[in-house]
Chains A and B, each alone.
Chain A
Amino acid sequence: MSAPLLSIRELGVSFPRKEAPSTTVVEGVSFDIMPGEIVGIVGESGSGKSMTARSVLRLLPKSAELSGSIRFRGREIPEMTDEEIRDMRGALVSMVFQDPMTSFNPVLRIGDQIGEAIALHDRARRGRRALRDRVAKLLALVGIADPAERARSYPHEFSGGMRQRALTAMAVANSPALLIADEPTTALDVTVQDQVLSLLRELNENSGTAILLITHNIAVVASLCRRVIVMYAGRVIEDGPTDEVLTAPRHPYTWSLLQSVPRIDQAGTRLTAIKGQPPDPATPLAGCKFHPRCPWAEQRCGEQEPALSPIGEAHGVRCWLPMNGIAAAAQ
């Protein structure tokens, strides 16, 4: 097996507070991404998905504190100088954000903004003409008709779907080795969602770009990702091959998450939303972070936090009482 492209170990993100212990929103997160792999991260709102993703590019809010190790091609990202990290952003690792409506600067032309992404990393300093051609090619690549003309448009002249495509074009402008997509389709309607997802898939197949895909949508994970990471309250609670995790989840949280997904083959049955709320990161909670909501919690679960431990091949779970996959599937 080759070396991982990205290797995260014991990642932590916390926000210091005045006269109170700091709020930890990501803790003990570890996972690898192989070159060319598509990995999904799922989890409820507030589970720390975006903070994990933004840590990779060191784009956390100013007040955040980062701990742990993030290695990209063997280089420690937290130790890079500002200039080194800038050289990496948008060139080797790029990011697509959740909201295509607000991700473009409203007063600059789309083409100029994509061009900026290229020019910032353009060692050869190609001229304006070459830059314009490259922008048009990228827009054509993501399926925007009449690309040379549309490059002169302003963001408000683009529809949501077109903007998300343009954002994707901007993110892949320098053929990055890793693309982080933070809920790239949440703000889009279903047909446009599909288009953007196939765009990502093509990109992965044609250029071998590894993708870290953050989403709320289990169906998206099922169709695109070979591996999925489930986050809860800032922790990775399950990590494994998509087909295994989705059909035979080992963590009760993953199981209940899947239960709350509406399924076509069970039309009519009520959605079993998970009872209760995720814990507030500002108040410390002993034991497993899921135990207050877990139907199977024991005394031990409220006292000590389990580690993420291997269960089966390339599959890990953070639970004292992992479900045995077959029983769960039958429920």
Chain B
Amino acid sequence: MLPALLRLSLRRALLALPLVLAVIAFTFFLIRLAPGDPAAILAGEAPTPEFLAQVRAEYGLDQPAWRQFVAFLGKAMTGDFGTSIYSKQPVFTVILERFPATVLLTGTAMVIASLIGILLGAASARRAGSRADALISAASLVGYSLPGFWVGQLLILLFAVSLNWLPAGGMVAARGSYTGWRHVEDVAFHMVLPVATLAVFLLTMIARFTRAAMVEALDQDYVLVAEAKGASRRRVLWNHAFRNAAVTTVTVIGLEFGMVLAGAVVVEIVFSWPGLGRLFYDAIHRRDFALLTGAFMFSSLVVIVVNMVSDIGCAMLDPRIRR
């Protein structure tokens, strides 16, 4: 089993390489197509033409685009994505600084959405056609259609402003600088609303797809065979039906991760969460092209990696995919 999986992982990684390159090229050129002259921004207000030319030469901006790209690629290989125009720090450092907050936010949202989504999906598949099933389906359709910024602001109005139960934004309380367990508590407290906002969408997707896959699985002969062996309903539901449906669930989680990351940008802005999404937003406003390119590439890579992991997860769950 392991050699097969290892081979599969390697192959997926190799297959991902051209994709990574394409993403880097796409990002690089796309951002250069955006209006605004980076040299003008770098040079500050009202620069002399000589200074502008000097800046261009210094940053290689006078070179043809493909040359710039090759140079960029060469540096990127060594982890050098350039320097943030705004903070004057290496782009990579800035990104890594913000990344953990986003991982915490999206990771927690994904775990919670998966757990609840799977439970809801299984519950409604078990009672397919019943009222509870119809209710869950309708609710998940609603949840799926609600825009994230709206849900976020609604939650803030309700739980932060009106009820004053939870903080409206930020990652830690502004006044107290807690340490140890109190710090964990504080962060968790601040996470409730953004995580809930982010999880709603993913949760409904997972519930819907898991339900469909489990309804199909429950209709298969092997479920009848399992019952004929004397397996309990719970066992049939989880060990047989869900075990098969899990491939669908994992695929959905993998595919939706991109949406979750995009949703995180909105959620981080609404809740002033100091993550990558917030960084993105700021980089756009400050015309920080180097940072924007880096952040865009970095998040694309993360999406590619997560998709790869979900592919491998599927292969682990279904031996017919390993080959």
**A interface list, Cβ under 8 A from B:** 57, 59, 86-91, 94-95, 97, 99, 102-108, 116-117, 120-121, 154, 156, 167, 170
Tell which of A102, A120, A154 touches B229, judged by Cβ atoms closer than 8 Å.
Answer: A120
Contacts of A104 in B (CB 8 A): 222, 225
Evaluate contact between A103 and B222: CB separation under 8 angstroms: yes
Select which of B222, B228, B317 is within 8 A of A102 by beta carbon.
B222
Q: What's the nearest-Cβ distance from chain A to residue B194, in Å?
A: 36
CB pair A105 B240 closer than 8 Å:
yes
Interface of chain B residues 282 through 323 with chain A (CB within 8 A): 317-320
- In the assembled complex, the Cα of A103 lies from the Cα of B229 at a distance in Å of 12
- Check: B185 CB closer than 8 A to any chain A CB: no
Within the complex, which residue of A57, A86, A106, A120 is in contact with B318, where a contact is CB–CB below 8 Å? A106
Any A CB within 8 A of the CB of B243: yes
Can you report 26 A-B residue pairs in the complex whose CB atoms are below 8 A from each other? A59-B227, A87-B230, A89-B229, A90-B228, A90-B230, A91-B230, A94-B229, A95-B228, A97-B225, A102-B220, A103-B225, A105-B222, A105-B243, A105-B244, A106-B318, A106-B320, A107-B244, A107-B318, A107-B319, A108-B240, A108-B243, A116-B239, A154-B320, A156-B320, A170-B225, A170-B229
Cα–Cα distance between A173 and B244 once the two chains are bound (Å): 24
CB distance from A163 to the nearest CB of B (A): 11
Residue of B230, B239, B244 touching A106 (CB-CB under 8 A): B244
Residues of B near A91 (CB, < 8 A) are 230
Q: Are A99 and B221 interface neighbours, CB within 8 A? A: yes
Residues of B within 8 Å of A87, CB to CB, are: 230
The CA-CA distance from A82 to B201 in the complex, in Å, is: 38
Report which residue of B222, B228, B318 has the largest number of chain A beta carbons within 10 angstroms of its beta carbon.
Answer: B228
Whether B228 and A57, one on each chain, are in contact in the complex, defined by CB atoms closer than 8 angstroms, is yes
In the assembly, what is the distance between CA of A140 and CA of B252, in Å?
41
Q: Which of A57, A59, A90 counts the most B-chain CB atoms under 10 A from its CB?
A: A90
Q: How far is the CB of B235 from chain A (nearest CB, A)?
A: 8
Decide if B221 touches A121 in the complex (CB within 8 Å): no
Within 8 A of A (CB), among B84-135: none
Q: What CA separation (Å) do A107 and B247 show in the bound complex? A: 10
B136 within 8 A of A: no
Is residue B151 within 8 Å, beta carbon to beta carbon, of the partner chain?
A: no
The smallest C-beta distance from A70 to any residue of chain B, in angstroms, reads 15
The one of B224, B231, B319 in contact with A116, judged by C-beta atoms closer than 8 angstroms, is: B231
B232 beta carbon closer than 8 Å to chain A = yes
**In the bound complex, how far is the Cα of B317 from the Cα of A5, in angstroms?**
42
**A95 contacts across to B, CB distance below 8 A:** 225, 228
Point out the residues of chain A lying under 8 angstroms from B228, CB to CB.
57, 59, 89-90, 94-95, 97
User: Taking the complex as formed, is B43 at the interface, i.e. its CB lies under 8 A from any CB of chain A?
Assistant: no
The minimal Cβ–Cβ distance linking B316 to chain A, given in whole angstroms, is: 10
C-alpha spacing A107/B226, complex, angstroms: 13
Q: Is there contact, CB below 8 Å, between A90 and B222? A: no
Which residues from B are CB-within-8-Å of A89?
227-230
Are A117's CB and B221's CB within 8 A?
no
Q: Are the CB atoms of B319 and A154 closer together than 8 Å?
A: yes
What residues of A have a CB within 8 angstroms of the CB of B240 in the complex?
Answer: 105, 108
Report the bound CA distance from A170 to B231 in whole Å.
Answer: 13
Chain A residues with Cβ below 8 Å from B225 are: 95, 97, 103-105, 167, 170
